[in-house]
């Protein structure tokens, strides 16, 4: 999102763009979107970017989302080219600057923080100048940043890196500090003179002076107090030693204190002057802080994208969802950073909705990875709608969902004294009330928790209701009766998750067009249940399935074949679009190069004596003496000499 320098927006205002109208908070919690925010915040360079990362939410304007996506892609390109944004020294000085704007005197430490941030504005200004012209959105976003480094130099010319106002900050301060130094020398000399006195040394506990605050004191035995006129500053723990500031030193110290007060007043005057300089640029710095915070935020998204091999998704308004080789972002982060799980890899899945069908009914065993599929789809959609790249292959597309509504996992409500089944039904009722054609609905284990026949009947009715709503829906179930739903509804499709019966673990691969088997009998066989028991179970199973099993198998094979054709067609279409985009990009680059060459030729033809030009042969600037367009040469003065070079060697 571009920052308008006339709006005076602060960092929070940047993020307070219109979020998805009523994005379901419960779904954000179920999908653990907060963890994605936390991972993203870790990639930000300063508190400004981290704050924006922790506030990131899905947006409702598709053009705005595309702009955010483009910005991330451009920063990724800049990083690939070795152009990291120079954000070193950026601090959250918003409150400090506001105080300076209303006339408050800042401390030296606060001014140093402001100076480092002001220097950062200059670095960002120069960074923008170095960026490739192809990074148009990024250049446009950084346009409001002004180089305020002059004010930073004023501050650092008066305050050193330890936060001390230096002598050269003003002539008056230098004069006062010299006077203080003179007094210090006189006090030191007086102390040395006293310590050389043998009579005085005889009454000291040890022959050295010590400091009590800013006062030089001598350790005098308590029974010799009257022998040294002066001020007692403290007594030792035993009471045997008095620490006395001699009267001659005390008088000098009193005079020094007066000068010290003059120094403090002059330091405060300098700090007020510097604070006033900050106040003068408070408005410009405020705009720049907003933009640099946004840059740090986009930089975090770009670093996250590069680190996890993400890509920019296409945002569409036609309800088409296609995630190609998508990976669950939180699982992938866990596997990278958990020493126990670091050898594991997230299995990519491919999910489609709104392309041939609007509802996907995923079946398979309870441990088959159905929930991971749901969470991956929902979480990746949230990331895309929040202007982030997604952990999926290029060509993935996400629709403009206004709502993502989920019912996942066991959510027994102790407060409402509801069973797991009742809690699910309560949640589903809310989802059915909110869902519309712009919603993604995800229901985990539909129909579970009650009698299988009643659960399947209720599940079919819920699917019918979602179908009437024209929403996009992914539903998981292990109820056999729901596996045939897609065969009776052309807007629904089956999906199955793989399960390795040898290892008894899910593979997390999703096969669209198939319905999953529970594999209960195969698992039971692997776990060495008695053979006669398994034979009896197979007999009951055949009796229950009846004669329609063969027809279902054949129907599934036909749908698998159709799904393969559809998948191949989509892949070919995506490849063709990529080739077209590459061709258009190359064509555009050639047109730009030709236009630039023509413009350069025109400018060279208009070169006149006296014009300044850059002479490529010498890598220096020169002044034109004479031009011969027929010969294509130009006489230029470079340094102390004159040289005749070709017109194609000079840049106007």
Q: SS in 3 state form for 125-190? A: HHHHHHCCCCCHHHHHHHCCCCCCHHHHHHHHCCECCCCCECHHHCHHHHHHHHHHHHHHHHHHHH
Domain membership of residue 582 (yes or no) is: no
Output phi, psi for 538, to 5 deg: -60, -40
Domain match, 287 and 355 both: no
Domain identity same for 251 and 291: no
H or E segment and range at residue 623: strand 620-628
Q: Which of 12, 4, 1 is nearest to 94 (CA)?
A: 12
Mean pLDDT by 10 residues, the chain (652 residues): 41 44 78 95 93 93 94 94 91 93 94 94 92 89 92 93 91 93 89 86 84 86 85 86 87 89 94 94 93 96 96 93 93 83 76 90 73 92 96 93 86 48 84 92 83 83 92 86 81 81 70 68 73 80 57 58 65 70 74 79 84 80 84 82 82 82
DSSP H helical ranges for 308-446 = 329-337, 370-385, 420-434
Q: Quick check: is 115 in a domain?
A: yes
Strands in 641-646's sheet, in edge-to-edge order, are 641-646, 633-638, 620-628, 612-615, 650-651
Note whether residue 265 is domain-resident: no
Q: Identify whether residues 228 and 322 lie together within a single domain.
A: no
Asked whether residue 339 falls in the same domain as residue 442, the answer is yes
Structure token pair of residue 42: 């870790």
DSSP element (H, E) containing 597: helix 549-605
Tell me the pairing of strands 241-246 and 314-316: unpaired
Domain boundary among 533, 551, 567: 567
Tell me whether residue 584 is in a domain. Answer: no
Token pair in block for residue 538: 């197979």
Contacts 24+ apart (CB under 8 A), 588-595: none
User: What gap in Å lies between CA 308 and CA 323, rounded to an integer?
Assistant: 16
Residue 210 sits in the same domain as residue 302: no
* CB contact at 8 A, 48 and 92: yes
Instruction: Assess contact for 217 and 210: CB atoms under 8 A.
Output: yes
- The CA distance from 81 to 86, in Å, is 14
- Is the domain of 300 the same as that of 341? no
Q: Does 297 map to a domain?
A: yes
Residues 389 and 520 in one domain: yes
Structural domain count of the chain: 4
Beta pairing, strands 359-363 & 472-477? parallel
Q: Are residues 208 and 285 in the same domain?
A: no
Structure tokens at 446: 């539909």
Q: What is the pTM of this model?
A: 0.74
- CATH code where residue 212 lies: 1.10.1420.10
Give the integer Cα–Cα distance in Å for 77 and 271: 43
Last residue of a domain, one of 548, 567, 586: 567
The boundaries of the domain holding residue 464 are 311-567
- Structural domain includes residue 268: no
Both tokens of 494, joined, read 């089956």
Residue 589 lies in a domain: no
Is position 399 within any domain?
yes
Residue carrying structure tokens 């994208």: 305
Residue 564: per-residue pLDDT: 65
Of 512, 539, 567, which closes a domain?
567
Which two three-digit tokens encode residue 117?
């941030």
| 526 and 466, same domain (yes or no) | yes
- 321 and 291 belong to one structural domain: no
Do 219 and 297 fall into the same domain?
A: no
Do 412 and 540 reside in the same domain of the chain? yes
């Amino acid at each position: 999102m571009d920052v308008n320098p006339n709006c005076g927006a602060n960092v929070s205002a940047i993020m307070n763009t219109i979020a998805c109208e009523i994005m379901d908070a419960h779904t954000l919690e179920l999908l653990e979107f907060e963890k994605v925010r936390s991972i993203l915040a870790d990639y930000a360079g300063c508190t400004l970017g981290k704050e924006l990362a922790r506030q990131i939410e899905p947006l409702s304007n598709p053009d705005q989302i595309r702009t955010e996506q483009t910005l991330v892609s451009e920063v990724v390109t800049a990083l690939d080219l070795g152009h990291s944004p120079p954000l070193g020294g950026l601090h959250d000085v918003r409150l400090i600057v506001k105080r300076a704007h209303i006339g408050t005197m800042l401390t030296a430490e606060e001014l140093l923080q402001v100076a480092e941030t002001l220097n950062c504005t200059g670095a960002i200004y120069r960074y923008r100048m170095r960026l490739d012209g192809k990074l148009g959105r990024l250049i446009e976003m950084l346009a409001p940043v002004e180089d305020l480094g002059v004010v930073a130099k004023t501050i650092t010319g008066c305050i050193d890196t330890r936060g001390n106002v230096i002598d050269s900050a003003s002539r008056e301060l230098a004069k006062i500090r010299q006077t203080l130094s003179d007094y210090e020398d006189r006090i030191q000399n007086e102390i040395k003179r006293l310590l050389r006195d043998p009579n005085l040394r005889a009454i000291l506990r040890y022959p050295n002076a010590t400091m009590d605050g800013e006062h030089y004191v001598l350790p005098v035995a308590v029974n010799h107090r009257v022998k040294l006129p002066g001020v007692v500053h403290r007594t030792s723990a035993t009471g045997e030693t008095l620490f006395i500031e001699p009267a001659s030193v005390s008088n000098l110290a009193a005079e020094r204190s007066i000068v010290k007060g003059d120094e403090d007043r002059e330091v405060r005057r300098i700090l007020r002057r510097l604070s006033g300089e900050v106040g003068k640029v408070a408005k410009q710095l405020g705009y720049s802080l907003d933009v640099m915070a946004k840059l740090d935020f986009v930089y975090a998204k770009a670093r996250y994208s590069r680190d996890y091999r993400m890509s920019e998704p296409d945002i569409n308004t036609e309800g088409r969802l296609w995630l190609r080789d998508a990976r669950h972002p939180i699982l992938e982060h866990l596997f990278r950073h958990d020493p126990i799980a670091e050898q594991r890899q997230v299995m990519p899945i491919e999910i489609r909705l709104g392309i041939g069908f609007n509802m996907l009914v995923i079946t398979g065993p309870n441990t088959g990875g159905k929930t991971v599929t749901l969470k991956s789809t929902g979480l990746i959609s949230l990331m895309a709608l929040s202007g982030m790249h997604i952990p999926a292959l290029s060509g993935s597309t996400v629709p403009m969902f206004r709502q993502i509504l989920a019912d996942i996992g066991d959510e027994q409500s102790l407060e409402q004294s509801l069973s797991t089944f009742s809690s699910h039904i309560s949640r589903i009722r809310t989802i059915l009330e909110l869902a519309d054609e712009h919603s993604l609905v995800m229901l985990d284990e539909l129909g579970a928790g009650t009698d299988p026949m009643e659960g399947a009947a209720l599940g079919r009715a819920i699917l019918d209701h979602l179908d009437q709503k024209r929403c996009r829906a992914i539903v998981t179930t292990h109820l056999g009766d729901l596996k045939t739903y897609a065969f009776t509804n052309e807007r629904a499709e089956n999906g199955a998750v793989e399960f390795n019966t040898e290892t008894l673990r899910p593979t997390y691969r999703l096969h669209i067009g198939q319905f999953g088997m529970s594999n209960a009998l195969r698992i039971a066989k692997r776990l060495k249940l008695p053979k006669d028991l398994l034979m009896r179970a197979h007999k009951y199973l055949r009796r229950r399935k009846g004669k329609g099993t063969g027809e279902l198998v054949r129907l599934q094979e036909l749908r698998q074949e159709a799904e393969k054709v559809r998948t191949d067609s989509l892949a070919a279409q995506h490849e063709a679009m990529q080739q077209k985009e590459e061709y258009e990009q190359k064509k555009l680059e050639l047109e730009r190069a030709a236009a630039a060459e023509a413009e350069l030729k025109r400018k060279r033809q208009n070169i006149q004596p006296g014009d300044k030009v850059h002479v490529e042969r010498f890598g220096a600037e020169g002044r034109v003496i004479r031009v011969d367009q027929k010969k294509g040469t130009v006489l230029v003065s470079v340094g102390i000499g004159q040289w005749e070079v070709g017109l194609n060697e000079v840049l106007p």
